[in-house]
């Protein structure tokens, strides 16, 4: 009987085949142990040659691209697996489905063919990414608006964002950023329109197109030009400091401990399964250091049973409780040790590069309380003290300066900054790349290599509005700056977000915030009674609308990358507004990765591999 059960279980084992797109989705959601529980014996890469396993079923979880489907057809013709079960990460265009139908071998082996609508990966409970890492260059780089690259990139982004909506079971009311300065933001509108068309096609395929008239969530689509300071300014919360200053690839912290056997290398995953990380990640670094010190004292003075260490008169019951609690206490001590090590590393970096001093000046710069003379004075002072400030830190400070002080750069200024900072010409040229994001960096009359960009001669000639943090947490040093995203969410929740600057898809500007039309009062009522009734009815309608709005998810999507600071605000605002706030983006950026991508904007973006044009989905 046991042999029969084992045989039956063995026959259920299967191979999971993924491509580059789906691999990231699976990795963000599952561990190998989770897959093993689902009877997946091995995970294979679709693009790598694989040995035949004719006794096992092949489960393909792939993007609906022509390339991936061609590989599936090839596998079926070679009979690599017993059966083929194909699950697409998003809606499959007609051309892809026709390629499967055209293969007799594929049709005969096909066990399933369906769309999972899972083409994104979660960052944490309030954040997600659609994994389009080159979106900033693909939508803002030189010449991108004049080629097919931008259109195809926006198709891809909208398609993947549509899978988020389907996965969450949401029908969104979509608004988008209409302008940057006094110029249209074609990127935000382009993604918003494509998302609307993609969801319409999916609803039409299910015969539920009328459901669009009853949205279940609010979506605001912006692009990175809405706030260029947040990606480069220092965030002083624990998670932001870890990802900014330390090397933690994929959230894995590597460290070393000293044992009786010598020095050993260890790894710790910083994620939802680490309660100390969840507790501290959004706290100011000064608060984290205090909390960790207090916890260390507690562990030093309290035993596993909750009593004072050194107590000898333990009862049998107390001893039993101490033994039972020991694994949990040891695990907590291990976690504390990890985070103490992390905090120590962060503190060492802060001290070595005098980043607290840099941060204070940085805050003054973005709020307009400091000038270029203050920057030069700081650089000279640090040099005189032998403090080696990394070049990327100098460049970030200059990016904060030119982002918040318009029209400060020309060729002579570039030379002055090179002299005072040691930056190269390639480094200071990155400053003018902000012109491609609509920031007025160059002085009037200065040569503009991007005069033919989507913003033409750049648009922002006045200082940008910078939000200041108030309330809980604002008392911490270096914690004044607040990402613009927080202000937009607050206004959208309150129903006060400007409808001309942030219109709705399919609704003319100004209509989104217009009050509902009221029925005329009956003739029998007096004018006074009618007016009172109007006010009461208006109030009731407003309260009902606010109640309905508060129960809906509010999702902000940023084309061109989001930051850890913005992700933190989604958590804070969810609690503050008593409404689930989620932020998504094409990618999750660190300051270093954003600066690197900003540097690449001066080159023409390449056209991505054909994915699934929105037009291909219209016939679903």
Give tens-digit pLDDT for 197-222.
999 988 888 888 888 889 999 999 99
Q: Report the percentage of the chain scoring pLDDT > 70.
A: 79
The CATH superfamily of 121-227+483-515+525-617 is Sec1/Munc18 (SM) protein, domain 2 (3.40.50.1910)
483: part of which helix (H) or strand (E)? none
Tell me: the pLDDT tens digits for 34-87? 888 889 999 999 999 999 999 999 999 999 999 999 999 999 999 999 999 999
Measuring CA to CA, how many Å separate 16 from each of 53, 116, 391? Answer: 12, 15, 45
Question: What CATH number has the domain spanning 238-347?
Answer: 3.90.830.10
* Residue 562: HSE in the Cβ half-sphere, 13 Å Cα cutoff: 28
CB 444 within 8 A of CB 478: no
Residue with tokens 């914690």: 479
CB within 8 Å of 554: residues ≥ 6 apart: 217, 218, 220, 489, 492, 493, 577, 579, 580, 581, 582
Dist CA 416 CA 606 (whole Å): 34
Which CATH class name applies to 355-465? mainly alpha
| Among 143-157, 171-185, 565-579, 604-618, the least confident range | 604-618
Tokens of 357: 């001093």
Residue 137 has pLDDT above 70, yes or no: yes
Q: Identify the band that residue 310 occupies on the pLDDT scale cut at 50, 70 and 90.
A: very low
DSSP 91: P
Q: Identify the band that residue 380 occupies on the pLDDT scale cut at 50, 70 and 90.
A: very high
Q: Fold identical between 238-347 and 355-465? A: no
User: Helix, strand or coil for residue 55?
Assistant: coil
Residue 193 has pLDDT above 70, yes or no: yes
Better-predicted residue by pLDDT, 448 or 374: 374
Provide the whole-model pTM: 0.85
Angle, vertex CA 418, rays to CA 412 and CA 421, nearest 5: 135
| pLDDT confidence of residue 520 | 32
| pLDDT confidence of residue 405 | 93
| pLDDT confidence of residue 328 | 62
DSSP structure string for 443-464: PTTS--TTTTSTTSS--B-SPP
**Would you kindly state where each structural domain of the chain is located, as residue ranges?**
2-115, 121-227+483-515+525-617, 238-347, 355-465
β partners of residue 154: none
Domain 2-115 has CATH 3.90.550.10: no
């Amino acid at each position: 009987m046991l042999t029969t059960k084992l045989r039956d279980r063995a026959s259920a084992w299967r191979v999971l085949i993924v491509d580059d797109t789906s691999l990231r989705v699976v990795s963000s959601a599952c561990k190998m142990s989770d897959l093993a529980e689902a009877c997946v014996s091995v995970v294979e890469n679709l693009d790598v040659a694989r040995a035949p396993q004719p006794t096992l079923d092949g489960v393909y979880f792939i993007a609906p691209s022509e390339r991936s489907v061609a590989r599936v057809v090839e596998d079926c013709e070679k009979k690599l697996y017993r059966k083929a079960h194909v699950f697409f990460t998003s809606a499959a265009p007609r051309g892809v489905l026709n390629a499967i139908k055209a293969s007799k071998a594929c049709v005969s082996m096909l066990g399933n063919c369906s769309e999972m609508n899972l083409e994104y990966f979660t960052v944490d409970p309030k954040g997600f990414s659609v994994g389009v890492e080159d979106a900033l260059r693909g939508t803002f780089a030189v010449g991108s608006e004049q080629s097919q690259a931008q259109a195809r990139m926006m198709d891809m982004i909208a398609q993947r964002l549509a899978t988020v909506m389907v996965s969450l079971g949401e029908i969104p009311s979509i608004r988008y950023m209409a302008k940057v300065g006094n110029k249209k933001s074609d990127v935000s509108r382009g993604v918003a329109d494509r998302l609307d068309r993609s969801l319409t096609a999916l609803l039409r395929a299910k015969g539920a197109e009328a459901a669009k008239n009853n949205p279940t969530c609010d979506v605001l689509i912006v692009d990175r030009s809405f706030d260029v300071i947040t990606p480069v300014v220092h965030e002083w919360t624990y998670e932001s400091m870890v990802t900014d200053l330390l090397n933690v690839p994929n959230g894995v912290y590597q460290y070393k401990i000293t044992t009786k056997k010598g020095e050993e290398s260890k790894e710790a995953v910083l994620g939802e399964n680490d309660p100390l990380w969840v507790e501290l990640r959004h706290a100011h670094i000064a608060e984290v250091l205090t909390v960790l010190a207090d916890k260390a004292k507690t562990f030093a003075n309290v035993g596993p049973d909750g009593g004072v260490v050194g107590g000898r008169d333990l009862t049998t019951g107390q001893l039993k409780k101490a033994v039972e609690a020991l694994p949990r206490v040891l695990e907590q001590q291990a976690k504390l040790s990890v985070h103490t090590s992390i905090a120590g590393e962060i503190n060492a970096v802060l001290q070595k590069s005098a980043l607290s001093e840099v941060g204070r000046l940085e805050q003054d710069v973005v709020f307009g309380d400091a000038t270029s003379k203050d920057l030069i004075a700081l650089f000279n002072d640090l040099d005189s003290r032998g403090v080696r400030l990394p070049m990327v830190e100098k460049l970030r400070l200059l990016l904060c300066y030119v982002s918040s002080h318009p029209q400060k750069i020309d060729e002579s200024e570039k030379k002055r900054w090179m002299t005072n900072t040691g930056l190269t010409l390639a480094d200071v040229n990155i400053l003018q790349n902000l012109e491609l994001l609509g920031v007025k960096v160059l002085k009037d009359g200065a040569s503009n290599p991007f005069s033919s960009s989507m913003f033409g001669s750049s648009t922002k000639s006045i200082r940008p509005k910078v939000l200041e943090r108030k309330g809980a947490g604002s008392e911490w040093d270096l914690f004044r700056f607040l990402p613009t995203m927080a202000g937009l969410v607050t206004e959208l929740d309150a129903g006060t977000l400007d409808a001309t600057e942030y219109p709705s898809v399919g609704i003319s500007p100004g209509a989104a915030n217009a009050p509902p039309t009221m029925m005329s009062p009956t003739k029998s009522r007096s004018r006074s009674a009618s007016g009172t009734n109007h006010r009461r009815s208006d109030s009731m309608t407003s309260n009902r609308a606010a109640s309905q709005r508060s129960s809906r998810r509010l999702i902000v999507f940023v084309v061109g990358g989001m930051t850890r600071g913005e992700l933190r605000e989604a958590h804070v605002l969810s609690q503050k507004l008593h409404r689930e706030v989620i932020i998504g983006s094409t990618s999750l950026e660190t300051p270093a990765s954003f600066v690197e991508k900003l540097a690449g904007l001066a080159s023409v973006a390449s056209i991505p591999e054909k994915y699934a044009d929105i037009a291909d989905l219209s016939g679903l």
